[in-house]
């Protein structure tokens, strides 16, 4: 399966942020979309399609990213079942910048994460930062990239149960261009 739009929409010199992700089952995907309707238009506009992050790929130029995607296509991990955890958050300077459903670590998930990371390491420019390998925190973002007040975070009442098993599927690369149009997204698919 190819990533929709990738070859034609990634400019060689553009700067991109990307990750390898799994698509979610429709019921979970739709529940996240419904919850996002409670957020401001600004926050909704910059969100990627709901997904389970398998491996952050970092920032790279378009030509580099296309090479990583081609190699990833040859080493695509298998679909799997994961266990949902409680509500979690990532903070930056004390503000919540990512509210998410934690996903319990498993051998299958760790093996898939490390396999994708090893594809990136084939390239000298690859630098995924601190959120990979031992720093990997499996999660499904409810919102990301826009700091939110505690009132928004506190309003999220989990509609899932920790321990629920969900099947994730269709691993693919998703991302956004950071320059000059930071809201350009690609790779969103169901």
Count Cβ atoms below 10 Å from residue 66 Cβ, excluding itself: 18
Q: Is the pLDDT of residue 183 over 70?
A: no
User: Is position 6 within any domain?
Assistant: no
Q: Which residue has the higher pLDDT, 190 or 130?
A: 130
Instruction: State mean pLDDT over 123-140.
Output: 91
Measured CA to CA, the distance from residue 158 to residue 153 in angstroms comes to: 11
Residue 164 belongs to a domain: yes
pLDDT mean across residues, the chain: 87
pLDDT at 181: 56
Say how many domains are in the chain.
1
C-alpha–C-alpha distance, residues 18 and 16, integer Å: 6
User: 184 near 176, Cβ under 8 Å?
Assistant: yes
Q: Domain span at residue 130?
A: 14-186
Q: What is the pLDDT of residue 4?
A: 39
Is residue 1 in a domain? no
> Domain for residue 168, yes or no?
yes
In a domain, 8, yes or no: no
pLDDT for res 54: 96
Tell whether 141 is covered by a domain.
yes
Say how far apart CA 33 and CA 51 lie, in whole Å: 11
Query: 146 lies in a domain?
Result: yes
CATH code of the domain containing 45: 3.90.1140.10
40 part of a folded domain:
yes
Give pLDDT tens digits for 22-78: 999 999 999 999 999 888 888 888 888 999 999 999 999 999 999 999 999 888 999
Tens of pLDDT, residue by residue over 96-118, are: 989 999 999 999 999 999 999 99
């Amino acid at each position: 399966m190819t990533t929709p739009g990738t070859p034609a929409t990634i400019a060689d010199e553009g700067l991109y942020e990307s990750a390898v992700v799994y698509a979610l089952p429709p019921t979970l995907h739709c529940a996240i979309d419904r919850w996002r309707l409670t957020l401001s238009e600004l926050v909704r506009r910059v969100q990627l399609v709901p997904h389970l992050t398998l491996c952050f790929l970092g920032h790279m130029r378009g030509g580099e990213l296309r090479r990583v995607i081609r190699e990833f296509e040859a080493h695509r991990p298998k679909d799997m079942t994961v266990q949902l955890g409680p509500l979690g958050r990532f903070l930056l300077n004390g503000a919540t910048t990512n509210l998410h459903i934690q996903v319990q670590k498993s051998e299958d998930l760790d093996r898939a994460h490390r396999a994708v990371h090893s594809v990136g390491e084939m390239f000298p420019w690859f630098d995924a930062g601190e959120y990979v390998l031992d720093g990997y925190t499996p999660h499904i973002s409810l919102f990301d990239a826009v700091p939110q007040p505690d009132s928004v975070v506190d309003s999220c009442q989990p509609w899932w149960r920790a321990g629920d098993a969900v099947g994730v599927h269709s691993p693919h690369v998703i991302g956004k261009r950071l320059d000059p149009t930071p809201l350009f997204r690609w790779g969103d698919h169901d």
